[in-house]
Amino acid sequence: MVNSNWTYAHISQLWSRLAQDPQVVHPPCDAREITENGNRAEEMLAGGTARILSVGQIRPEKNHAKQLRIISRLKERLHSEGMEDLNV
C-alpha cells in the first residue's frame, strides 16, 4: 500500500517486478462528516484519554521534532486547564 500517487509512481519504478501493483490508500478524512458533526474534541477528551497518531516517513523535511514540541505544548495546556489526570 502507498499513500499518494507520487509514492505509487516511485515504488512502482523502484520495485518494477512486483507481483501486483501497489494500492493507493489516501489519508482517511471525510470532511463532510467533520463539518456536519461539529468539533467533538471536548467530548473525546471527556473520556480521559487523547490519542494522536502520526503516520509518515521519518525524514528531516517532515520535521517530526516540531510535532513532538506541539504535542508537548498541548499536554502542558491541558494540564494548565485542570486536565492533569488526562492520559496524553
Longest dimension (CA), the chain: 56
Angle at the Cα of 32 from the Cα atoms of 27 and 34, rounded to 5 degrees = 75
CB 2 within 8 A of CB 23: yes
CB neighbourhood size of 78 (10 A): 16
Its pTM stands at 0.45
pLDDT, tens digit, 9 for 90 and up, residues 59-77 = 888 888 898 898 889 888 8
Query: Domain map of the chain by residue range?
Result: 1-38, 48-88
**Local structure of 85: helix, strand or coil:** coil
The pLDDT, as a whole number, for residue 23 is 86
